[in-house]
Structure 1
């Protein structure tokens, strides 16, 4: 061992250049070759280290082993240059020992990794996998597109079903509505006949005309409710005063259960406001009334009540404050298996042609979209109680501020030239008289084409046109005349229900006045449009 150590430390050796006979060509060839190899060896570890630090590789630690091994190999070539002039063969041997250890360690860790490296996917397999992934993504996108289309189609179907249910509700009310309108017409006709017989009796004429106007107002309320039911609208949740809503639709519910059953409405706290869509809640209550009527073929009592509940009021609802609106009947009741399926769309136990099976599901949907839930409590022979849990609103309902002085308004339309277009002779004559009493100059036209020609010829200050007319509609007339004169104010009068078509013609110089209206409403609208 001492001899071996002495051999490493003994400095009496001749330099390697001596073996080359100090031939410059051979010496510098060795120097340049070893230097180039050493530089290459030193650059390779730099590349490997940079790659390891920039990328997350599966076998990164193996690259570190390669870097150390290659760095050691570069050092052996530097020692080869150094020993050309200095016989430090012991140091050169030590560098080679380090290189040998690094090579053995690298080989020892590399061979076990060979199966794993072979198992790595080839570029061809990666390309195939990428293509397969792209196909999956494309298929997913196609499925998502189809899903969106199905959702849109479902929304259209739901809207159509809701519209169908509204029309069915209107249809079921037809008998009661006809009865009420006959009474209203009788009141109007009777009072007008009395006025015609005694036109000089001023006191009685005032009383009779007030009675006739009151009948017209009651008719307007009924038609307004029917138009609201038949209109196409989405759920618009807002704060609603429940007592006013139930009180306002009491007449409709009474007609829904008439003539065999009676309606009882328990007092509802007027301070209770709920988050819901008022029109949809009215329709839901009306549908529940229809179901109750059918469940009481021999007659009975329909009771509407409400109470405030707090905390966890139902399993599917978070804790909070809710108003429980209950519609209860004294009818036949439902067995448990029917009650479990009662809110399913199209599920009905009624005979063919007697029900669609979407009334209760629609009420359930209204409660759900309002942030509440619907529960059913029913017992055979004792009746059914449907409860709508609606969130208590934190804000007060927005009220429309009405100007009471409007009824006493005396509009002065002197000097105003107004074009009036309406296909109904009686309505047109009445509107013309209303306007002329305020001093306006009125030019009349019986249809859309004549109205457009009238506007072009007379250049009025304002156009009043009926919305629904045969041939050219009021919307067409308004569009044509405003193409020539965009500043011309237009008032569209209508009793039409579909709000979307009316909204399409709205604008800063276009106003919509819904029939029936009173003289002060027409004159106020005209004055506002003319800036008077």
Structure 2
């Protein structure tokens, strides 16, 4: 039976449901016994059109009006009189903390809060603005909560649609081929300007500036007055081939433009002019062509009036140009020789016209340029013009000069103009050399940072070797202990060789050589070196995904960049902390609003002191450093920046003072190349030499003595030469005495690779095996196809490579027989 209490008389459909609800089954009891505060709030709620809600008591009993019922969706009317927790069970983890604050006596107000609701049986994204106000009883205790709210889902969705539409229009605006701009207010302040407009005015700063501020040179030419007229009258203005002269931003030179454009007034809803829309096209080429045509027509009329005088005058002008031009001018015959030449040939190259005319152009061309030049001469003979073709001409004194040619065929001849660009080429070469020097300086700074850590590791390894050799000298040593010490020495040598190989690979000097590689594998491989660099007090954590992430970049420069970022992190942590290196595939670069492109992100996060906000914009500048004198050149992070840009990527930093830093290197992701796994070489037993004669070439006495003794133990006969010249003399004494040559690479005078080439020239059937710990020749040119044994090598490796070389040589001799 409906209740008739006065505070329940309003409320529409929800009010009727409140009056007919069985409240005796709830902790509130009959409405007549409700607290006065609750009655008052219910009366206010039912009399309001705004969505309102009351939550009462520890059971969170829910009362609301028609406005809030619409927000409940399909959960109304079952939610009326029930628990607020049951009403919003799907978003309770978001609602409960706010409700708890209200029950604790704290009022809250929130705008645009997002919830994922299932109020209509399916998930939907909703937005609300609401305030939770605590309700107290006569004793001042919080007994409930009152909420006035509004659902803003529709408004948010409409704003999103409007934003998307604006972005679409801005894209169309930016991509339009014609120049466009939007000017606001009586001062004609730039609100928008598309790329075509910015290019037109020389990429000046425009947005936020008035026309008078951004384009002062246009004011005196009457364009500001035209804008004022359009703004004042509301009438559009159209111009055709209107001349505009702008001052060049970079060099101050004047640029003359001719434009077709329209000034279109922009009106608000009340019909008042609020701005001017500018749109047009650059018709400079067309206008200049028309001006030239009119000028030519005038000249033609003038020539017709006094043809003979004009012909003589023009001939004199052309003849004077031919004589005084600093460029090489000539008329080329289809058969490839110059018929006529101007005096500049003798000035630039030293050859007179009589020495060159009638002579094939290929006679004076640099040998490396002959083939290309012959192709160009053939193209001219076929009627194809040539522009900016570069080659080298021999001068009378025997040198060469670079020339840039433009040639146009006409009437069976080609009319050629060559400009001397030798100095430009020299500047380009000097710039390339300076850039290479900068890259090497950056590399060597990183190598220098490694020195301390590598020295520490080598001292540890030498300690193991020294201790083991001392123990091996003790008399009466048991066989198992002797074997243990020998194994320790062998294992330690292998670790030292691995460390040396890592350092040499990292320090190699070479030009940029991009290749496709797996970033995860590269980071994992160099992480051990990073640990050496940072020291034991810094924990290194490497997180690499299982799925390979491939990039196309220079692996050496990548390693350098990684080490430089690690050095920077180490210094900010003052030798103690945690460095986390993460690798992952990402789509786009969110901080730069680059979306959809595939990148590999390599991030280094440290727990150091962070970077001050004032230094963030300068940390990638060359030679900028916040370290003390002698603690760094400031080249490290500039190398990272340069490598990222050269590789088509970016490098970003996030940092707060006292909270560490994260450097993230983004490189474009590419498809991986399939790699065929190489079978591992199985260890082979020692092979006896059976009297095979080996010519050992080694300038170091200790290494030479050890090599000959080792080979003797294996059953080889040896002859030891201490230089390449000595080795060649030994070969001449008894030409067919030796079956293999075993030579070091780094030696005074002729090196090992040069010796091997000479031996192959003299004795093509005599195999040569090279050995080296490191050689700049080897690093730059490779082993030239010879067998190569890396120092330090084991007896097993030496035995195997000699057996392989001798067996191959013998097999080749049998095949020839």
Normalised by the size of structure 2, how large is the TM-score? Answer: 0.47
Q: Does 1:427 align with 2:669?
A: no
Residues 394, 188 of structure 1: alpha-carbon distance in 2 compared, 3 angstrom cutoff: same
Offset of residue 287 of structure 1: 1.0
Residues 484, 437 of structure 1: alpha-carbon distance in 2 compared, 3 angstrom cutoff: same
Contact in 1 for aligned 2:742/2:769 (Cα 8 Å): yes
2:316 to 119, 124, 133: 124
Give the distance between the partners of 2:428 and 2:593, measured in 1 at CA.
24
Give the distance between the partners of 1:267 and 1:341, measured in 2 at CA.
30
1:331 is paired with a residue whose SS is coil
Q: Paired residue for 2:693?
A: 417
1:353 to 623, 630, 641: 630
Residue segments in structure 2 that go unaligned for 5+ positions in a row: 1-292, 330-343, 349-402, 405-418, 809-817
Normalised by the size of structure 1, how large is the TM-score? Answer: 0.69
Residue segments in structure 1 that go unaligned for 5+ positions in a row: 1-57, 63-108
Q: Does 1:114 align with 2:305?
A: yes
1:380 to 647, 657, 662: 657
Offset of residue 322 of structure 1: 1.3
Give the distance between the partners of 1:111 and 1:430, measured in 2 at CA.
98
Offset of residue 241 of structure 1: 2.4
Contact in 1 for aligned 2:446/2:564 (Cα 8 Å): yes
Contact in 2 for aligned 1:303/1:327 (Cα 8 Å): yes
Q: Does 1:269 align with 2:269?
A: no
Offset of residue 336 of structure 1: 4.4
Residues 397, 339 of structure 1: alpha-carbon distance in 2 compared, 3 angstrom cutoff: farther
2:670 is paired with a residue whose SS is coil
1:490 to 748, 765, 768: 768
Cα deviation 1:432-476 (Å, max 9, x = unaligned): 344334432222233444333333334311111112234554345
Residues 136, 483 of structure 1: alpha-carbon distance in 2 compared, 3 angstrom cutoff: closer
Q: Paired residue for 2:151?
A: none
Give the distance between the partners of 1:198 and 1:401, measured in 2 at CA.
46
Offset of residue 306 of structure 1: 1.9
Offset of residue 172 of structure 1: 2.2
Give the distance between the partners of 1:498 and 1:389, measured in 2 at CA.
32
Give the distance between the partners of 1:362 and 1:261, measured in 2 at CA.
24
Cα deviation 1:43-95 (Å, max 9, x = unaligned): xxxxxxxxxxxxxxx89x99xxxxxxxxxxxxxxxxxxxxxxxxxxxxxxxxx
1:252 to 524, 529, 532: 529
Give the distance between the partners of 2:477 and 2:656, measured in 1 at CA.
65
Give the distance between the partners of 1:385 and 1:368, measured in 2 at CA.
19
Contact in 1 for aligned 2:454/2:533 (Cα 8 Å): no
Offset of residue 313 of structure 1: 5.2
Q: Paired residue for 1:87?
A: none
Contact in 2 for aligned 1:231/1:499 (Cα 8 Å): no
Give the distance between the partners of 2:591 and 2:552, measured in 1 at CA.
17
Give the distance between the partners of 2:627 and 2:724, measured in 1 at CA.
48
2:500 is paired with a residue whose SS is helix
Contact in 2 for aligned 1:324/1:388 (Cα 8 Å): yes
Offset of residue 136 of structure 1: 9.5
2:468 to 191, 195, 198: 191
Residues 461, 210 of structure 1: alpha-carbon distance in 2 compared, 3 angstrom cutoff: same
Give the distance between the partners of 1:483 and 1:462, measured in 2 at CA.
15
Q: Does 1:288 align with 2:479?
A: no
Structure with the greater alpha carbon radius of gyration? 1
Give the distance between the partners of 1:470 and 1:498, measured in 2 at CA.
14
Contact in 2 for aligned 1:275/1:393 (Cα 8 Å): yes
Give the distance between the partners of 1:274 and 1:199, measured in 2 at CA.
59
Cα deviation 1:223-244 (Å, max 9, x = unaligned): 1111122221122222322233
Offset of residue 325 of structure 1: 0.1
Q: Paired residue for 1:167?
A: 444
Cα deviation 1:246-282 (Å, max 9, x = unaligned): 2222232123222654333234435223322222211
2:798 to 509, 515, 522: 522
Q: How does 1:438-457 map to 2 (within 5 A)?
A: 438-457=714-733
Residues 184, 111 of structure 1: alpha-carbon distance in 2 compared, 3 angstrom cutoff: closer
Count of matched residue positions in the alignment of Structure 1 and Structure 2: 426
Give the distance between the partners of 2:473 and 2:779, measured in 1 at CA.
40
Residues 403, 201 of structure 1: alpha-carbon distance in 2 compared, 3 angstrom cutoff: farther
Q: Paired residue for 2:684?
A: 408
Cα deviation 1:301-334 (Å, max 9, x = unaligned): 3221122201455749784321100112233333
Give the distance between the partners of 2:490 and 2:676, measured in 1 at CA.
25
Offset of residue 420 of structure 1: 0.7
1:344 is paired with a residue whose SS is coil
Residues 145, 471 of structure 1: alpha-carbon distance in 2 compared, 3 angstrom cutoff: closer
Give the distance between the partners of 2:433 and 2:642, measured in 1 at CA.
15
Higher share in strand: 2
Residues 450, 110 of structure 1: alpha-carbon distance in 2 compared, 3 angstrom cutoff: closer
Contact in 1 for aligned 2:446/2:636 (Cα 8 Å): no
Residues 259, 191 of structure 1: alpha-carbon distance in 2 compared, 3 angstrom cutoff: closer
2:457 to 166, 175, 180: 180
Contact in 2 for aligned 1:462/1:490 (Cα 8 Å): yes
Q: Paired residue for 1:147?
A: 424
Q: Paired residue for 1:338?
A: 615
Cα deviation 1:477-516 (Å, max 9, x = unaligned): 4455445434432222111241457737x445x3332212
Cα deviation 1:323-352 (Å, max 9, x = unaligned): 100112233333445322322323333333
Give the distance between the partners of 2:504 and 2:569, measured in 1 at CA.
24
Give the distance between the partners of 1:159 and 1:213, measured in 2 at CA.
40
1:343 is paired with a residue whose SS is coil
RMSD: 3.7
